[in-house]
Amino acid sequence: MLIGDGMADVPIAKLDGKTPLAFAKTPNMDKIAELGVVGQLQSVPDGFEPGSDVANMSLMGYDPRIYFSGRAPIEAASMGITLDDDEIAFRCNLVHLDNKIMRDYSAGHIETADSIRIISEFQKKLNSDTIKFYPGTSYRHLVVIKGFPGECLKTRPPHDISDQPFSPHLPTGVGVDILTELSRNAHEVLRQSPVNTERREKGKTTVTDIWLWGQGRQVAFPTLKERYGLKGSVISAVDLVRGLGVLAGLNVRIVDGATGYLGTNYAGKTAAAKEALANEDFVYLHVEAPDETSHEGDVEKKIQAIEEFDTHIVKEILKLREIHKDLRILVLPDHATLISTKTHHAMPIPYAVCGGNIKADNSVSYSEESAAMSNRKLHTGVELFNILVKGDF
């Protein structure tokens, strides 16, 4: 499974009325369509926000209506953090707020080295018997709070409110006073942080605040081996997808130089996939860049991300068909991320799959339009995963 996070979109006037996926040069995804079938999938169940957590969980064969408790506990699984019964994990973004506006949900896609120094400052000054900070990658980190009283707390992902006033989207509900105080204390640490001084001198985006969201309690899944007899690997730069892999019982393959952005170590990812398929049944290879560039609202960068995915991932994985004659290859986004709104959308997404015993259906291209014209409409990611395992398209 090759996941171009957030690739799907709606037609854009400056692209001659095409979507970024249709406008981009994607001969390799088109080749998968030509060799196999194209269809349309509703990856996000009704009633759920179209987050990467719910969408990737669904694509991996797990029904969010049964297994989803929040994004942060999935990322905690990736970090090897076990939550006690009285603990709740929160995703902790490093962000840049300015003049009451969410200017940058990623603090300029802060380098991991800088962000770890900041989390270390939080650990020294803000950690307590009830609050613990844990470092992740780039702007993505975790906070675990013991004895947190709020089960009905409402939070909002910061990437949903880019360039918008953030006050209407602050957490609400029981326990919000704890988050407010923690955020205020973090702001003071950041105001005096030497990391910010260095970033300011280098003309980089500073970290002004933390943004807490995606909370949840400990979660557990039956593994894919238990459910399907599958042994496999997950390859991704982001803790969310790695965490899903851990919970699914997959081997998490860490690729040096995988950044979750443009120019990531694509070669390392495909090498890891090749190594995995030598002894395993299944690989879930995830690329974050199309989603990140969509959140930036940068259509040129989104097209670049899609084309890099096609050239450096899809093309190389297609070559593995020479080694594994019955290899099935499925390509799709997890959800749509719209350039126009800079956030996710629950619209149906296109998929293309080839290989194994799949018979071609006369498709010639891969895009939202070609998928919409197909009579292959699937209503859940779980349904797609079941069909993929059986090869019954």
How long, in residues, is the chain? Answer: 393
CB 22 within 8 A of CB 349: no
d(CA 280, CA 273): 10
The mean pLDDT of 71-93, rounded to a whole number, is: 94
The yes-or-no verdict on residue 151 having pLDDT over 80 is: no
Among 260, 217, 156, 221, smallest CA distance to 382 is for 221
d(CA 316, CA 326): 16
User: Within a domain: residue 167?
Assistant: yes
The mean pLDDT of 152-164, rounded to a whole number, is: 92
Residues 250 and 307 in one domain: yes
The yes-or-no verdict on residue 152 having pLDDT over 90 is: no
The yes-or-no verdict on residue 150 having pLDDT over 80 is: no
DSSP state of 292: H
pLDDT of residue 109: 93
Please give the backbone phi and psi of residue 370, each rounded to the nearest 5 degrees, phi first.
-65, -35
Give the residue carrying structure tokens 């105001």.
Answer: 191
CB 345 within 8 A of CB 379: no
Residues 246 and 169 in one domain: no
Give the residue carrying structure tokens 């499974």.
Answer: 1
User: Within a domain: residue 73?
Assistant: no
pLDDT tens digit sequence for 260-290: 899 999 999 999 999 999 999 999 999 999 9
Domain that holds residue 28: 2-68+220-390
pLDDT of residue 393: 84
d(CA 206, CA 188): 13
pLDDT tens digit sequence for 210-264: 999 999 999 999 999 999 999 999 999 988 999 999 999 999 999 999 888 999 9
pTM reported for the whole predicted model: 0.88
Among 291, 272, 288, 269, smallest CA distance to 280 is for 272
d(CA 1, CA 329): 6
pLDDT of residue 218: 92
The mean pLDDT of 159-170, rounded to a whole number, is: 94
User: Within a domain: residue 122?
Assistant: yes
- How many folded domains does the chain comprise? 2
Region of residue 375 (left: phi > 0; alpha: psi -120 to 50; beta: else): alpha
Q: Which two tokens stand for residue 3?
A: 């996941």
User: Within a domain: residue 6?
Assistant: yes
| End residue of a domain, out of 174, 196, 216 | 216
The yes-or-no verdict on residue 145 having pLDDT over 80 is: yes
pLDDT of residue 357: 86
d(CA 115, CA 112): 5
Give the residue carrying structure tokens 């390509």.
Answer: 331
pLDDT of residue 188: 98
d(CA 73, CA 77): 6
pLDDT of residue 50: 93
Residues 239 and 317 in one domain: yes
d(CA 266, CA 262): 10
Residues 6 and 89 in one domain: no
pLDDT of residue 291: 95
DSSP state of 218: -
User: Within a domain: residue 76?
Assistant: no
pLDDT-based confidence at 372, cuts 50/70/90? very high
Give the torsion through C-alpha atoms of 376, 282, 69, 104, to 10 deg.
-90
pLDDT tens digit sequence for 98-135: 999 999 999 999 999 999 999 999 999 999 999 999 99
